[in-house]
Structure 1
Amino acid sequence: MSEHTIEMNVLKVQVEGYPALAALQGTYPQLGIYRRFATLNARNLLYLQAELVNLERDLEEYTEKDCRSEDARRRLCNKNWHYLSKKEQGLAGSQWHTMLRIKEKLKEYNDCLLQQRQLTSFHEPEAGNLEFLNEWLRDPRHGKSALEGLDRQVWKDGRDLLVAKPDGLADDSLTRILRKYLTFPFHILWSRYRSPVDVENGIYKYDEEAVIRLANVIGMAVSALLPVLAVVVLYFVHDMLKRLAMVAMFTVIFSLALMATTKARRIEIFAATAAFASVQVVFIGSSST
């Protein structure tokens, strides 16, 4: 009996849809973008609140009814736990039965309220990450990974979204602007010389710390040059009204620069701006004498 070797071509099934998207978001948490369902959560809270309001009214009515009851034991329900916890008080239309329903509903309401508060603390996704996710879902190279149900519009609409892990690198406006407008041309320039770190998903990884360092350098340069520029301009302007207008203009520019390039608090920006304005006023006073 001859032996035959049977060769089987095992085809690797490419995972699509939810498993593929879950793998992407699990690998890159900054792409973990989901619906907040703010309206539905608010509506749920309103319904729970309405239920509790009605239960509260029922409890007040049953309490008043017990107070006016001709049964001495029922009148003691407001004073003695022994009578309040009797079996008949667990029936519908009683204080304790209503209170048990309130306890259950209160727990649900409080849990939802705390969850709503936590949901409001989530950050919105970065525009670049949301754009990448939409491109990934549309890209046919990923094996038709896009969803086909009603939820396929979640990321395309771009509304009512949150991100599970916020991108903490861009904390100030200048860094976000630089990263938005510098990362893409940098990618176009260097992608031809390097391979993606994730070939399957077509993801390139760059050191965004370089963008942050650039933003810090620009911020330091602006903060150092503005006082010098203000003094130089004021030196050549001799009309007092024009000088005062220049002081106001440079002061506003200085405060806006601080807001864009730093994470300083409002009181710190106010103090620095006041000091900057004082320096200009002192220079005007000294140059006028």
Structure 2
Amino acid sequence: MANNDRTLDEKLPYTPSPTETAFSGHVAIPMPEDPDSPPAASQKKSWLARRAETMFAGKETFNLNDTIVQDLDSCPEGYPQLAAFQASDDSFSQYRGFGYLHSRILLALQAEITVLEGDLKAIDEYDWQEDGRQDYLKSRAKDLADVEEGGYEGSRPELLNKLRNKLIEYDDMLIRARDLGAFQRPSKRDYHSLRSWYYSNAPLLDSEADCIKHKEDIVTLRQGREWAGFDGLIETSLRKIDCKLVRFLFCNSELRRKTIDENAHYYSAARIETFVALLITCVIFILLVLPVVAMYELTCNSSRDATFDAVGVLIVFTLLFSAAMSLLTKARRHELFAASSAYCAVLVVFISNFNNVGQVSASHR
């Protein structure tokens, strides 16, 4: 019977519940919970709560604004710090173009090609004037066969091969020189900023720092913006009135972390362009509204003198509009002419309409 009971127990083992404890002697041993069974608290959570936990899991450790900024002060002095400074802003990306050396190399290649051209011309004239050699000018196959049979140097095929290699080298150099000539020169403000940093920090030895003194040979990688001249004036003004408020409005967190040097000023180009756009919008609004109001007041009198005064106002504001377009934008001549003509035409339409209104009101009186 005992054997039967043990056999029955082995077939049907007893599994304690998670809350039960097994006893061994007089010591209570807690039984581990089943890892496959979900906790009781999570079973009571709603589907929306579990979905929210899944969506926002790990959000506390993710920061979108956590960026790495090249700190100028942590760079070793010398070329590392100079490279970090010139890469910190587009206005400081100024390098020598070596225009003189490009010209020397182009002239040397040009002279070599000219000599080869003269040799080719001499061979052609010799074959043309020598009896029985005219066919070598008419057939490349015979020309090559003559070289293989004669085995002499300075033949036409060999000369043409040299010319081809030289022309490829010359054309490549010529195209590169043209592309280099398309680079813009740095503005006076940007060049002086870089020279001032050189003078204050002295990153290189005097013998290697002379490269920055070749002002006529310096090119910039900075692309011209639409209102580059006016933007430069705004940047210069911000540097003169630099304060905490200016840095807060025109600097982002990355620019503030670049350096602790008070003489180095970094401003966000996007914020400056937004500020310039706002200023130009205000100027255009004033130039459109003020002449209309002034001409309306003048033409309400419906007198001859008032009409001439309105024409004078039209001329003055048209000149102001043209000056604003020329100074605040980089408009071309035909664009400036078209915009000024359109502006003048709009004011003429207002004058004619106001004169009609003045005449109608005078007739009713």
In 2 relative to 1, CA 218–19 (structure 1 residues): closer, same or farther, beyond 3 Å?
A: closer
Structure 1 distance, partners of 2:139, 2:224, is 57
Q: 1:26 touches 1:32 (CA, 8 Å); kept in 2?
A: yes
**Partner residue of 2:350?**
283
1:270 aligns with 2:361: no
1:91 to 143, 153, 157: 153
Match of 1:76 in 2: 135
1:177 aligns with 2:215: no
- Match of 2:220? 163
- What is the match of residue 16 of structure 2? none
Distance 1:110 1:22 in 2: 32
Q: What's the counterpart of residue 44 of structure 2?
A: none
Cα offset, 1:16, TM superposition:
4.2
Partner of 2:273: 212
Which TM-score applies when normalising by structure 2? 0.61
Q: Report the Cα offset of residue 19 of structure 1.
A: 4.2
Q: Secondary structure at the match of 1:280?
A: helix
Q: Quick check: 2:298–2:310 contact (8 Å CA) kept in 1?
A: no
The equivalent of 1:3 in structure 2 is none
Query: Cα–Cα, structure 1 residues 147 and 171, in superposed 2: closer, same or farther, change >3 Å?
Result: farther
CA 1:130–1:252 in 2, change beyond 3 Å: closer, same or farther?
A: same
Q: 1:53 to 1:201 in 2, by over 3 A?
A: farther
Does the C-alpha gap of structure 1 residues 134 and 265 become closer, same or farther in structure 2, counting only changes over 3 Å? closer
Verify: 1:125 aligned to 2:186, yes or no.
Answer: yes
**TM-score, scaled relative to structure 1:** 0.75
Which ranges in structure 1 are unaligned for 5 or more consecutive residues?
A: 1-13
1:17–1:146: 8 Å Cα contact kept in structure 2? yes
CA-based RMSD: 3.4
Moved more, 174-183 or 221-230: 174-183
Specify the alignment match of 2:35 in structure 1: none
Separation of aligned partners in 2, 1:126 and 1:79: 58
Identity level (%): 27
Residue 204 of structure 2 corresponds to 146
Q: Please, which of 228, 231, 237 is the counterpart of residue 289 of structure 2?
A: 228
Distance in 2 (CA, whole Å) between partners of 1:282 and 1:208 is 39
The separation in 2 between residues aligned to 1:200 and 1:281, in whole angstroms, is 56
State the partner residue of 1:197: 257
* Equivalent residue number for residue 323 of structure 2: 256
- The alignment partner of 1:122 has SS state of coil
Q: Displacement, 1:34?
A: 1.0
Deviations 1:118-175 (A, max 9, x none): 11221223444433322322225xxx423321x52332453221123x1566644322
Of the two, which has the highest radius of gyration? 2
Q: Evaluate the alpha carbon distance shift between residue 39 and residue 229 of structure 1 in structure 2; reply closer, same or farther with a 3 A threshold.
A: farther
Q: Which amino acid aligns with 2:206?
A: E
Inter-CA distance 24–282: structure 2 relative to 1 (3 Å threshold): closer
Q: Following the alignment from structure 2 to structure 1, what is the Cα–Cα distance between the partners of residues 316 and 120?
A: 65
Secondary structure in 2 matching 1:125: coil
SS at match of 1:186: coil
Comparing 109-118 and 78-87, the one that deviates more: 78-87
CA gap of 1:43–1:251, structure 2 versus 1, over 3 A, is farther
Residue-by-residue CA offset, 1:264-286 (whole Å, 9 max, x unaligned): 55544433322211122233334
- Unpaired segments ≥5 residues, structure 2: 1-74, 248-252, 300-304, 360-365
User: Which amino acid in structure 1 is aligned with residue 197 of structure 2?
Assistant: W
Provide the aligned length of Structure 1 versus Structure 2.
Answer: 267
Q: Distance in 2 between matches of 1:35 and 1:28?
A: 17
Post-superposition offset of 1:61:
2.3
What is the deviation of 1:108? Answer: 1.8
Partner of 2:45: none
